[in-house]
């Protein structure tokens, strides 16, 4: 009699759980619309990579940043003088990434080769942020993209900036 009771309890639990499940619970959140022409203010934080001419706490305002979006895919283009500086610094002003709910992540993959001792690497910039209405905010992390060469173990660092910005309402 006892095994039948266990089977009845398991059957009831399975029926209850399957009745409560939903395919939407396993899908990613609908991405917010982050597309627009933003004006950013960026503030330098920790300079873990000891980047040249980096002043912690220094802010730069009125930086144009254009984001385009196709579903959950997002692309960002830094413009103006900041685009020139970033291009000279890492080799690109173009970011690619994704949006999930109100959060987004985009990376600019550096193309300028760098060397430290026997380690060759590029410097990437990774934007992690969120949107609320027409305002975005988050961080930009600059970090080396290294190979699996053991000499690169000493080239692990991050320099960080915070940002906030707005776009004109649609």
What residue ranges do the domains of the chain occupy? 29-166
Which SS3 state, helix, strand or coil, does residue 30 take? coil
The pLDDT of residue 134 is 97
The pTM of the full predicted model, rounded to 2 decimals, is: 0.81
- Burial (Cβ within 10 Å: 0-12, 13-18, ≥19) of residue 6: exposed
Name which CATH class applies to 29-166.
Answer: mainly beta
Dihedral sign for Cα atoms in the order 99, 104, 109, 115:
negative
**159 forms bridges with which residues in the sheet?**
47, 142
Give the mean model confidence (pLDDT) for residues 90-105.
98
Query: Does residue 165 or residue 155 have the better pLDDT?
Result: 165
Is 31's pLDDT higher than 90?
Answer: yes
Average pLDDT of the residues in 88-101: 97
**Interval 59-81: pLDDT, tens:** 999 999 999 999 999 999 999 99
Total residues found in the chain within this entry: 170
pLDDT in tens, 111-155: 999 988 889 999 999 999 999 999 999 999 999 999 888 888 888
């Amino acid at each position: 009699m006892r095994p039948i009771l266990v089977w009845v309890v398991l059957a009831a639990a399975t029926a209850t759980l399957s009745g409560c499940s939903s395919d939407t619970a396993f899908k990613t959140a609908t991405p917010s619309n982050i597309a627009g022409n933003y004006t950013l203010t960026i503030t330098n934080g920790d300079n873990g990579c000891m980047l040249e001419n980096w002043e912690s706490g220094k802010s730069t305002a009125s930086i144009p940043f254009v984001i385009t979006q196709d579903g959950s895919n997002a692309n960002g283009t830094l413009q103006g003088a900041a685009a020139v500086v970033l291009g000279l610094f890492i080799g690109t002003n173009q970011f690619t990434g994704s949006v999930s709910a109100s959060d987004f992540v985009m990376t600019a993959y550096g193309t300028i080769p760098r060397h430290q001792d026997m380690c060759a690497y590029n410097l990437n910039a990774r934007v992690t942020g969120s949107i609320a209405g027409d305002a975005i905010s988050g961080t930009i992390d600059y970090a080396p993209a290294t190979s699996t060469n053991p000499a690169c173990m000493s080239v692990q660092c991050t320099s960080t900036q915070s940002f906030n910005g707005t776009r004109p309402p649609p």
